[in-house]
Amino acid sequence: MKLLRILLCFPLIAAFAAPAQTAAPQQVFGFRDFTQQARWDAAFMAVPDAKLAGEHLKILTAAPHWASSPEDYKTALYVAAKFKAAGLETSIVPYKVLLNKPVSILVEAFDANGKKLMSGPAAEHVDPNKFGGDSFQNDRRILPAFNGFSPSGDVTAPVVYANYGTLADFKKLASLGVSVKGKIVLVRYGANFRGVKVYIAQQYGAKGVLIYSDPADDGYYRGDPYPKGPYHPASAVQRGSVQFLPIYPGDPETPGIASTPELPDSQRTKRPVDLPSIPSNPLSYRDAAPILKALDGPDSPHGWQGALPFTYHLGGTSTVTVHMRLQQNYARRTIWDVIGTVDGTDPVQKEDWVIAGNHRDAWVYGAVDPSSGTAAMLETVHGVGDLLKRGWRPKRRIVFASWDAEEEGLIGSTEWAEQHSAHLKNAVAYFNTDVGVSGPNFNAAAVPSLKQFVREVTTQVPSPKGGTVYDEWKKASEAEAGESGKKAGHETSVSIDNLGSGSDYTPLFQHMGVPSTDIGSDGPYGVYHSTFDDYNWFIKFGDPTFAYEQQQARVFGLEILHMADADVLPYDYQLYGKEILRYIQAAQRHAARANLKIDFDACLAAAQRFTAAGAGIHQVQANPPADASLLNNQLRGAEEAFLNPAGLPHRPWYKHTIYAPGEYTGYEAVVIPGVNEAIEANDAARAQAQLAILADCLNRAAAILESAANAK
């Protein structure tokens, strides 16, 4: 889940459409002459339409469309029709994957005398007579609140409150003498991925896990709850998968291979290692409150107190007992990716794919997550279709992807990436959007080689607030940094996050090594993965005039157009090298604090070599040879050099040596993960071995760039 900011509402002008007031840059990195591209950019930006984006969103959110459902297939047909109308070569690609569907979900709590404290999960409901209500909540097709990939189970046990369920939280409980072995653990959302909460609880011997949203993190403590305001109402439940995403995503039965419909059973694993063995289920804070209130035992440690109006205790006694009876129907179900392509025209580079994607499935209606991204992508496709009608053709092949079953574990994108693994060695970029719009604050994450590329694109796109997207992004960044940031000498350009996990760039980037970005536009958004993430919420609080949908379609589109037609791939390996060098120096300090004797010299030397090679190749990119095809191949090869075929320790599916989701965080990126996780585990021998692997990757990447620079 992305970090959210409390934002003021800005008046929007529905007529925001023409980008003419934004001057096209005279020179753009990667282009010898930007004149013609600027004309195509202007023609493209005039096409994405706010009203049409709103129509897409309304249609896509008309019904709950959980992956593999008939309603999900209906959205696939809608997206495919829009792809075809734009002139894309379009196909609906099925996969047969393992999914669970809830049959019966019961969670009930009792006090020491057997009195029932609660029984749920209760229905998600807001008063229809207050603040406009919400008619979407009554659809009978809404599934009970459940966790994707929770096993069935019937367990009864005392309850222990474990704060956010981080590794540090479980260690704190152990230090206080509170055991979770044989208990049901109650944790709140936040700080790490929900699947990691279950992963750690299972390691500590828990019998089951309940996950709720505390109003301190996602509710009235932050602002007015829905439908009066945008925040989490008391009855809302955050659904979500508890697959062990940091081990591997995708179909649990087919790690590393595509789960095509014809795949024989003999090639499917019967014992997936990325699935929990203990049951779990999400709760609203309305349902969690009676359990928390009745707990006894020690007061919770400092920082563990949420916003419910009583003191939180750790429990662990028999004062409160919870009974979980979960019946799940596990089956191989069909999901549908929608793929649309535009062939490239360059004789050499036409097979160098530029991929752009967004997932389509939702836990319920998914107005923000993911349909706001789908609506923006469809308007990007609309603009590309208009260029095709004008005679434009890209140098490189463009692939648009509408992924399915992302919510269960990035399944559609992972299976497609595994199916096309050989060709993805030629893919030059993957551009992702997921939570496309929940408010007016633009944000981005990217591999360092594409961070400046994203900044440059946003300087061309007008913002509904006035100025450019980059201008407004920078103002927000400076306001967040404040005076302390200025005094500390922080960079004046906007900061861009690193890629962790939790969306569809993971298989493309961290498994296949395709340079990637992820963009969105954030605001106060408290209905994540609940029934209330619907069209009604969106037009009240997300983007009432769909102006930010239009903005995001333009940014997404310019990313695609520029990468598809650049003379030289606009990767910035100079910045990449500087960031890697900082990561290694930080790891060195971390090891020193842990009193681990590790030799960093060879790895630091390799990072310095790579940084120097990045500076050298940057000059070549600015003045490229007439035939840049070999240079482009070498630029792409440098990113691939960061892949370790053996993968990370304990989780070999993840190949990237610079970025991965943390084993104990899930969403958040861990940099140089093999090294840092070994240091965190106090394993000097493993850290030294991982440093050697990292040094080899850096030297290999540096050698590729040095060869390219010398070839000019």
26 in a domain, yes or no? no
pLDDT averaged over 10-residue windows placed end to end, the chain, 712 residues: 32 38 71 96 98 98 98 98 98 98 98 95 82 79 96 98 98 97 98 97 98 96 96 97 97 97 95 96 98 97 97 96 98 98 94 97 98 98 98 98 98 98 95 97 97 98 96 91 54 84 96 98 97 97 98 98 98 97 98 96 98 97 93 96 97 97 90 97 97 98 95 70
Per-residue pLDDT at 364: 98
List strand residue ranges (DSSP E) for 487-582, in order. 516-522
| Closest-CA residue to 523 (of 500, 535, 541) | 541
pLDDT score at 123:
86
User: What is the rounded CA–CA span in Å between residue 90 and residue 79?
Assistant: 10
Does residue 13 lie within any of the structural domains?
no
CA distances 357 to 279, 380, 517, 521, Å, are 32, 11, 11, 16
Give the structural domain span for 674: 573-711
For residue 28, being part of any structural domain is answered with: no
Q: Is 406 one of the catalytic residues?
A: yes
Tokens in use for 54? 């709103």
Alpha-carbon distance of 671 to 648, in angstroms, equals 12
Same domain, 80 and 164: no
Give the number of other Cβ atoms within 10 Å of residue 311's Cβ: 11
Residue 202 sits at φ, ψ, to 5 deg, of -65, -40
Element (DSSP H or E) covering residue 547: helix 547-565
Residue 266 DSSP symbol: G
C-alpha angle 369/372/376, rounded to 5°?
140
Name the amino acid, one letter, at 631: L
pLDDT of residue 486: 52
27 falls within a domain: no
Q: What CATH number does the domain containing 231 carry?
A: 3.50.30.30
Q: Give the pTM.
A: 0.94
Supply the pLDDT for residue 133: 72
CATH of the domain at 652: 1.20.930.40
Same domain? For 544 and 601 the reply is: no
Q: Is 115 exposed, middle or buried (0-12, 13-18, 19+ CB in 10 A)?
A: exposed
The per-residue DSSP string of 421-487 comes to TTGGGG--EEEEEEEEESSSEEEEEE-GGGHHHHHHHHTSSBPTTSSBHHHHHHHHHHHHHHHHHHH
Among the options 406, 456, 663, 677, which is catalytic?
406
pLDDT at 4: 33
Last residue of a domain, one of 298, 328, 358: 328
User: Token match 């944790």: residue?
Assistant: 187
Closest CA to 413 of 333, 356, 354, 498: 356
Residue 516 lies in a domain: yes
Q: What is the pLDDT of residue 449?
A: 98
Which residue among 328, 363, 390 closes a domain?
Answer: 328
Task: Among 328, 355, 382, give the residue marking a domain's end.
Answer: 328
